[in-house]
């Protein structure tokens, strides 16, 4: 449909240009078609109207769209407008200003006309404008090579053009002030290609954990809220591995990608993969791996081996946790899952020194009472409790994690053990084991 509309507008513009004896009517027709196509493609309704307020995303990372495929496509979409604008009008300045006003108008319409289901983004505005500029540059070079139809003017503006530009700018500014709310973000693309340092760190971590057993296919970086910190993700030929960035203290790997009876995990020393094992054998294999790869986790920590699945159909998880004299779980982590065939399928290693912590001011009984009050349950309702060290804004805090049954499922309360206040309360799906909830909340 957009193509048909663009061709129709182009044909109409050609007839008008011929009737008025406008120079270069073919280029004017192509320019009209290109502008119509761009407007049609960018303002065509997605069929999913947005109910949010009229906002425009302001991307703080101005270089981000230069490295994304979407950004390059946006620039390519607007390049013909700049090229044909110069070839038709022989006016570089007019083409640049007109192109900027065009793309600004499109983003303004996407922000204000919420029924279109589109979104306003300064990254699009930047790349669209760069596309127009690139096309204008190509057009200027082309006219310099062949000036048989008149020389190109870099800086040229009539009173009529200036009036149109100023009127359009005033209209757009008015719409932005009256209706559009800018919303600044650190970035708009969450996952990007890892840089050289991140790739090197990921390769080193994978090699340290598994040697050369797995092939790394690609390495990406999932950015956190600030944009600088996040997770480096290595996609392996079997499974994936993750490394926290930039501290590099937490390494995770998931290697259970098999759909049949075979194992795709990492074979642990001394046990041929495929030979069935039991809980004790899984514990011994995990301990042997820990001694070789994570000796920092063994001091003062007692390993606990538990089945994964109701009948250990996914094997056994051996976990190391360390507590201080007040019973606070320290931030170090070591979890090794061994499947029934003796291969490692899950690995979590967090090498963090035990932080200095104050004594908790909330007792176990008080934490249980705060959970029952938040959950609105009877005073006799059982509550599972764990006291953990938690990093908040680069400062170590002590939190109670309180877990218990509520109507329709279970609830988790996070309580500040120093400030003596409830931080949060959330419901959990029925049937989720407490160790999984506590482990996730303690991250």
In the chain, the percentage of residues whose pLDDT exceeds 70 is 88
SS (H, E, C) 414-426: EEECCCCEEEEEE
How far, in Å, CA of 127 to CA of 139, rounded?
18
334-356 pLDDT tens trace: 999 999 888 999 999 999 999 99
Strand partners, 386: 401
Q: Which two tokens stand for residue 126?
A: 């930047």
How far, in Å, CA of 30 to CA of 164, rounded?
22
Beta strands 181-185 and 55-59: pairing type?
parallel
How far, in Å, CA of 153 to CA of 93, rounded?
8
Residue-level length of the chain: 443
DSSP, residue by residue, 308-363: SSTTSTT-EEEEEE-B-TT-PBPS-EEEEEE-TTSEEEEEEEE--PPPP-PPPSS-
What is the pLDDT averaged over residues 54-69? 87
Q: Whole-structure pTM over 0.75, yes or no?
A: no
Give yes or no for a contact between 361 and 223, defined as CB atoms under 8 angstroms apart: no
Q: Which two tokens stand for residue 356?
A: 């200095």
User: Residue 371's closest CA among 358, 382, 357, 361?
Assistant: 382
* 208: three-class secondary structure by DSSP: helix
Q: Decide if pLDDT at 440 tops 90.
A: no
110-157 pLDDT tens trace: 999 888 888 899 999 999 999 999 999 999 888 877 665 556 666 666
How far, in Å, CA of 66 to CA of 192, rounded?
12
């Amino acid at each position: 449909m957009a193509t048909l509309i663009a061709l129709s507008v182009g044909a109409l513009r050609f007839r008008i240009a011929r009737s008025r004896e406008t120079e270069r009517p073919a280029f004017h027709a192509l320019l009209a078609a290109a502008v119509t196509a761009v407007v049609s493609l960018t303002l065509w309704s997605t069929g999913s109207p947005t109910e949010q307020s009229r906002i425009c995303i302001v991307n703080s990372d101005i270089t981000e769209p230069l490295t994304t495929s979407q950004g390059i496509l946006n620039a390519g979409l607007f390049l013909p407008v700049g090229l044909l604008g110069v070839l038709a009008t022989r006016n570089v300045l007019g083409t640049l200003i007109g192109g900027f006003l065009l793309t600004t108008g499109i983003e303004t319409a996407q922000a204000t006309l919420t029924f279109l289901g589109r979104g306003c983004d300064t990254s699009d505005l930047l790349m669209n404008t760069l596309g127009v500029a690139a096309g204008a540059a190509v057009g200027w070079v082309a006219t310099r090579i062949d000036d048989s139809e008149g020389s190109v003017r870099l800086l040229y503006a009539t009173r009529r053009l200036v009036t149109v530009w100023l009127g359009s700018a005033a209209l757009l500014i008015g719409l932005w002030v009256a209706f559009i709310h800018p919303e600044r973000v650190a970035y708009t693309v969450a996952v990007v290609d890892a840089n050289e340092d991140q790739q090197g760190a990921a390769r080193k971590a994978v090699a340290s954990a598994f040697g050369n057993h797995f092939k790394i296919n690609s390495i990406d970086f999932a950015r956190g809220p600030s944009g600088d910190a996040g997770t480096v993700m290595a996609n392996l030929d079997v499974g994936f591995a993750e490394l926290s960035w930039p501290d590099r203290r937490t390494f995770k790997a998931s290697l259970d990608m098999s759909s049949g009876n075979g194992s795709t995990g990492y074979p642990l020393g001394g046990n041929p993969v495929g030979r069935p094992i039991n809980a004790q054998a899984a514990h011994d294999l995990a301990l042997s791996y820990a001694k070789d790869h994570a000796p920092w986790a063994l001091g003062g920590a007692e390993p606990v081996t538990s089945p994964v699945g109701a009948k250990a159909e996914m094997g056994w998880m051996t976990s190391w946790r360390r507590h201080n004299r007040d019973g606070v779980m320290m931030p170090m982590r070591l979890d090794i899952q061994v499947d029934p065939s003796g291969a490692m399928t899950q690995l979590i290693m967090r090498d963090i020194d035990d932080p200095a912590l104050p004594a908790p001011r909330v007792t176990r009984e008080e934490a249980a009472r705060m959970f029952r009050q938040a959950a609105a349950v009877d005073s006799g309702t059982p509550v599972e409790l764990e006291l953990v060290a938690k990093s908040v804004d680069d400062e170590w805090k002590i939190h109670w994690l309180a877990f218990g049954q509520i109507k329709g499922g279970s609830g988790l309360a996070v309580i500040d053990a120093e400030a003596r206040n409830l931080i949060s309360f959330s419901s959990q799906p029925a049937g989720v084991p407490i160790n999984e909830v506590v482990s996730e909340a303690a991250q």
